[in-house]
Chains A and B, each alone.
Chain A
Amino acid sequence: MQRRSIAFWLGAVVFLAAMLAMTQLVRNEYPFFAGYVILQFVVLAVAWTILGGYAGYVNFGTNAFFGVGVYTAVLLVKAFGAPLPVQIATAAVVGSLLGLGVGLLTLRMRGIFFSIATIALAIIIETSITNFRFVGGAAGIQLQRPPVTAPFDSYVKMLFFVQALLVVIAVAITRGIQNSRIGRGLHALRDDELAAECTGVPTLRLKLLACVISGALMAAAGAPAAMYLQYANPDSAFNLNYSVSVLAMALIGGTAHWIGPVLGAILLGATQQLLAVTISSEVNVLVLGVMLVLFVVAAPKGVIGLVQRQPKRRGGSK
Chain B
Amino acid sequence: MTVPAAPDAPLLRIDALTKSFGGFVALNDVSVQVRKGERFGLIGPNGSGKTTLVHCISGALRPNKGAVIFGGEDVTPLPPNQRSRRGIARSFQIPRPFRSMTVLENLMVALDFAAGRETLESTAHRREAAMSILARIGLAAKAESPTATLTQVELRKMELARAMATGPKLLISDEAMAGLSTSEVDEVLDLLMSLGGDDIAIIMIEHIMQAVMRFSQRVMCLDAGRIIAIGPPAEVMANARVQEAYLGT
- Residues of chain A whose beta carbon lies under 8 Å from any beta carbon of chain B: 1, 181, 184-185, 187-188, 190-192, 194-204, 256, 313-317
A197, B81: Cβ atoms closer than 8 Å: yes
Per a CB cutoff under 8 Å, which of A184, A195, A201, A202 touches B96?
A195
Set of chain A residues within 8 Å of B144, measured between Cβ atoms:
313-315
The count of A-to-B residue pairs whose CB atoms sit within 8 angstroms is 92
Residues of B within 8 A of A191 (CB): 97-101
Residue positions of B touching A, CB distance < 8 A: 58-60, 79-82, 84-85, 89-90, 92, 96-102, 104-105, 108-110, 112-115, 123, 127, 143-144, 146, 162-163, 165-166
Q: A200-B166, A201-B109 are in contact. Are A190 and B60 (CB under 8 A)?
A: no
**25 residue pairs bridging A and B, Cβ less than 8 Å apart:** A1-B123, A181-B112, A184-B112, A185-B109, A187-B101, A191-B101, A192-B97, A192-B99, A195-B92, A195-B96, A195-B98, A196-B98, A197-B81, A198-B58, A198-B89, A199-B113, A199-B163, A200-B166, A201-B109, A202-B79, A202-B113, A313-B144, A313-B146, A315-B105, A317-B123
Q: In the complex, what distance in Å separates the CA atom of A198 from the CA atom of B162? A: 10
Residues of A within 8 A of B104 (CB): 315
- CB pair A185–B113 under 8 Å, yes or no, is yes
> Is the beta-carbon distance between A197 and B100 smaller than 8 angstroms?
no
| Residue of A188, A190, A200, A316 with most chain B CB atoms under a 10 A cut-off | A200
Which residues of chain B come closer than 8 Å to A313, judged between CB atoms? 102, 105, 144, 146
Residues of A within 8 A of B90 (CB): 198
A125 to chain B, nearest CB (A): 30
A192 to chain B: closest residue by CB: B96
CA distance A190 to B109 in the complex (A): 13
Closest to B162 in A: A199
How many angstroms from the CA of A185 to the CA of B114 in the assembled complex?
Answer: 12
